[in-house]
Structure 1
Amino acid sequence: MINFNGNLVAESNSKLTSENRGYKYGDALFETLKVVNGKIFFWEDHYFRLMASMRIMRMDIPMNFTMEFLEAEILKTLEANTLIDASARIRLNVDRGEGGKYLPDENSKVNFNIVVEPHNNPFYTIDADKPYVVDLYKDFFMAPGLLSGLKSNNKSLQVIGSVYAKENDFDNCLVLNTNKNVIEALNGNLFLVKGDKIKTPPLEDGCLKGVMRKQVLEILSKDVNLYVEETSISPFELQKADELFITNVIKGIVPISKYRKKNYGSDFAQKVVGKLNAKLRLMS
Structure 2
Amino acid sequence: MEILHYTAFTTDPTGGNRAGVVLDASTLDSSQMQAIATRLGYSESAFLTRREDGSYNVRYFAPSTEVQFCGHATIAAAVALAQAFGTGPLMFHTPVGEIPLDTFVHDGAVRATLTSVDTQVAELSAEVRGRLLTALRLRADELDPALPVLVSFAGNWHPIVPVASAEILASFDYDFDLLAALMAEQGWGATVNVMFRLTGNSFESRNPFPPGGVREDAATGSAAASLGGYLRQVDELELPAVVSVLQGHHMGSPSQLQITIPETGGIQVSGSAVRLEI
The TM-score, its normalising length taken from structure 2, stands at: 0.32
Higher-strand-fraction structure? 2
The structure number with the bigger radius of gyration is 1
TM-score by length of structure 1 reads: 0.32
Comparing both chains, which one has the higher relative contact order based on Cα–Cα distances under 8 Å and sequence gaps of 6 or more? 2
